[in-house]
Structure 1
């Protein structure tokens, strides 16, 4: 009996020793290759991107994506002298782009437009050359001229953010005093009174609807520029609660998209101030990005997400080409 116990213990020790000699190195190898990821704040080196589709279009800002009439549209600021706004369609099945539609409206370098599908209309928000905020509707009958253009008596030095949520079209921007502002419209042309929050932000805000709430992302006015997330509740619009300060940092706005779950979560794309590589992950109401991924793609501006399925960015090539890739988060 005692001999059997001793033999069993001896076998267990050998099994443990063998497991440490074999299993641990195997686990470390898998981690290094990106086949296994941890849930810490460290980014995985793997890149869940299909090959990028590189367009012939050149951008002087972050591009944006939105679906309208079953077509994916990309908007950006052109690199021509006037910096006209541009739109083009992207076909995911063929990874091809349509010809660019140059709009008559112009903006400034680095201030790209924002797009939103609101009541089956494609709306565009942008910063005018006079630094006033504008909103217009894409008109397929006269595609170069935005219809129902509204020029607001609101000024900024940064591009605005636009999204549809809870039956209203929301517009958000960084005021000339550096504070966060928000206003909305029920028809896309008449905007109500603005809300000015005490939050001070470094760059443009980002908006995304998340379940029954809307999330507002921005960068703090501190040395590190931590990313901050505020939850907008239409029942309590004066307060963004809770406010979550992320451990991740960025000197530029972040790209956000719905997470596709019944929670106030969001997919996020960003780059740091010192590293141009695009990072991807999931915001799940905590201070750490979940499942962070460090991609091989680089951009001088903000990367953009659409529907959690596509990543759009301006390349760091000499032409600053507009790129699109499918993603899997």
Structure 2
């Protein structure tokens, strides 16, 4: 009897040793794989979006979002023949949209507006049909006509980007020579001299205020069209430093927003040239996007972010509907 017990203990001990030799290396391999996956930026297949709220409005460019007087506004380019700019409200508590407010100003197909709140006013930036850059203020007393409209002498073939940062209104655009430009205003009406950087852009830039810096995103003109990030420092505005070229690529502008942390990070939304699915992640200063997510949503244009919480995009349905969803990263 004692001999049988000893034999059984020996067998059990041998099984444990064999199990450790097999399971432990496998576990380490899996852990190693998970770390490699996180570090190299492979995207998760999960979709971090509350089911999209699909509006009845159709867009011919990327829509944008901004909060003004405690209300979320969505702006887009209409699909009518004149391609008027439009605004409507969005209520996140019941995922409902207000009626469309058609503005008198128009733009070109594929060139959406930019929205930003600056000194308690909602400003709109857009590309005129004559390719001149424009900035105007939304006027609730006369909502179809933008007040204090400024038409700049600067021209572009792509829509400009707006941002409020360091007590100034920033306007950035791709010049007709393909170079990056930035111009600022202290009052939203008078703009100072432009700064032209030695940076060639494929399309429109994107702006995101991050802590003490303004991050500028664009797509380079190389064969892969990598996304590039430059950091604007108000103490050294003539140089965007550092410049970081991301491993991720796109031939469309990217949507960016603050990451909600003190560091100069940003949330980013984009799609590649060959895949219309929207991708999400966090830029933390390295060449790889962190926490990348591959969503089930598709768009023909740029997906845009607001406050790192909401995303709006043009759907790939026949109507090209304006959609809004809540982002969870």
Fold match by TM threshold 0.5: yes
1:86 aligned counterpart, secondary structure: strand
2:23 aligned counterpart, secondary structure: helix
**Alignment match, 1:34:** none
Distance verdict in 2 for CA 1:9–1:231, change over 3 Å: farther
**Alignment match, 2:20:** 16
Alpha-carbon distance in structure 1 between the residues aligned to 2:12 and 2:257: 55
Matched, 1:305 2:305: yes
CA-CA distance at 1:25 after TM superposition:
11
Alpha-carbon distance in structure 1 between the residues aligned to 2:231 and 2:12: 58
**Alignment match, 1:115:** 115
Matched, 1:132 2:136: no
Distance verdict in 2 for CA 1:21–1:194, change over 3 Å: closer
Alpha-carbon distance in structure 1 between the residues aligned to 2:94 and 2:39: 35
Alpha-carbon distance in structure 2 between the residues aligned to 1:325 and 1:46: 15
1:228 aligned counterpart, secondary structure: strand
Distance verdict in 2 for CA 1:219–1:22, change over 3 Å: closer
Alpha-carbon distance in structure 2 between the residues aligned to 1:9 and 1:259: 52
1:209 aligned counterpart, secondary structure: strand
2:242 aligned counterpart, secondary structure: strand
Contact 2:38 2:290 in 1 (8 A): no
**Alignment match, 1:244:** 244
CA-CA distance at 1:12 after TM superposition:
5.0
Matched, 1:212 2:216: no
Alpha-carbon distance in structure 2 between the residues aligned to 1:231 and 1:26: 37
Alpha-carbon distance in structure 1 between the residues aligned to 2:71 and 2:224: 39
Alpha-carbon distance in structure 2 between the residues aligned to 1:196 and 1:310: 32
1:38 aligned counterpart, secondary structure: helix
CA-CA distance at 1:269 after TM superposition:
0.1
Alpha-carbon distance in structure 1 between the residues aligned to 2:25 and 2:196: 60
Alpha-carbon distance in structure 1 between the residues aligned to 2:40 and 2:291: 8
Alpha-carbon distance in structure 1 between the residues aligned to 2:177 and 2:59: 28
CA-CA distance at 1:16 after TM superposition:
1.4
Contact 1:225 1:250 in 2 (8 A): yes
Contact 2:65 2:312 in 1 (8 A): yes
CA-CA distance at 1:41 after TM superposition:
1.4
Distance verdict in 2 for CA 1:16–1:160, change over 3 Å: same
CA-CA distance at 1:294 after TM superposition:
0.2
CA-CA distance at 1:23 after TM superposition:
5.8
Alpha-carbon distance in structure 2 between the residues aligned to 1:233 and 1:317: 41
**Alignment match, 2:67:** 67
Q: Deviations over 1:181-224 (max 9, x none)?
A: 00000000000000000100000000010000000000001111
**What 5-or-longer segments of structure 1 have no aligned partner?**
32-36
Alpha-carbon distance in structure 2 between the residues aligned to 1:107 and 1:100: 17
Contact 1:39 1:291 in 2 (8 A): no
Alpha-carbon distance in structure 2 between the residues aligned to 1:283 and 1:8: 51
Matched, 1:96 2:100: no
**Alignment match, 1:154:** 154
- The structure with the largest alpha-carbon Rg is 2
CA-CA distance at 1:39 after TM superposition:
3.7
Contact 2:135 2:150 in 1 (8 A): yes
Matched, 1:253 2:257: no
Q: Deviations over 1:217-253 (max 9, x none)?
A: 0000111100000000000000000000000000000
Q: How many residues align?
A: 320
**Alignment match, 2:86:** 86
CA-CA distance at 1:282 after TM superposition:
0.3
Distance verdict in 2 for CA 1:287–1:18, change over 3 Å: same
When the two structures are superposed, what TM-score results if normalisation uses the length of structure 2? 0.93
**Alignment match, 2:3:** none
When the two structures are superposed, what TM-score results if normalisation uses the length of structure 1? 0.93
Moved more, 13-22 or 250-259: 13-22
Matched, 1:188 2:188: yes
**What 5-or-longer segments of structure 2 have no aligned partner?**
1-5
**Alignment match, 1:175:** 175
CA-CA distance at 1:17 after TM superposition:
4.7
